[in-house]
Amino acid sequence: MSDAYYLHLTDRLRDLLETPEAFGDDRLPSERMLAERFRTTRVTLRQALAQLEGEGRIHRSNRRGWFVSPPPLDYDPTRDAGFNDYVQAQGRRPRTEVLLTDIRPHRPAAEALGLPIDHPFHHIRRRRFVDDRAVLSESLWVVPERAPRLLEGDFTASLWGQLRDRWGVTLAHRSLRLYSEALRAQEAEELGVAAGTAGLSLRRAIFDAHHRPVEYDEEHWLHNALCITVDLENTA
Instruction: Say how many CA atoms lie within 13 Å of 31 toward its Cβ.
Output: 15
Under the criterion CB under 8 A, does residue 200 sit at the interface with a second copy?
yes
Closer residue to a second copy in complex, CB, 30/186? 186
Looking at residues 18 to 77 of the shown chain, list those that interact with a second copy (rule: CB under 8 A): 47, 50-51, 53-56, 72, 77
| Least Å from the CB of residue 96 to a second copy | 22
| Least Å from the CB of residue 125 to a second copy | 12
Q: How do 133-142 and 198-207 pair as beta strands?
A: unpaired
| Least Å from the CB of residue 160 to a second copy | 11
Q: Which residues, in sequence order, are bridge partners of residue 223? A: none
| Least Å from the CB of residue 231 to a second copy | 5
Distances (CA, A) of 147 to 48, 49, 55, 144, 213: 52, 50, 42, 5, 11
Under the criterion CB under 8 A, does residue 118 sit at the interface with a second copy?
no
Closer residue to a second copy in complex, CB, 77/153? 77
| Least Å from the CB of residue 208 to a second copy | 10
Which H or E run includes 12? helix 2-17
From 131, 53, 132, select the one nearest 90 (Cα to Cα): 131
Under the criterion CB under 8 A, does residue 111 sit at the interface with a second copy?
no
Q: What does the alpha-carbon distance between residue 74 and residue 221 come to, in Å, rounded to a whole number?
A: 12
Tallying the residues shown for the chain, one arrives at: 236
Give me the residues that bind a second copy (CB under 8 A), please: 11, 47, 50-51, 53-56, 72, 77-78, 80, 107, 170-185, 187, 195, 198-201, 221, 223-224, 226-234, 236
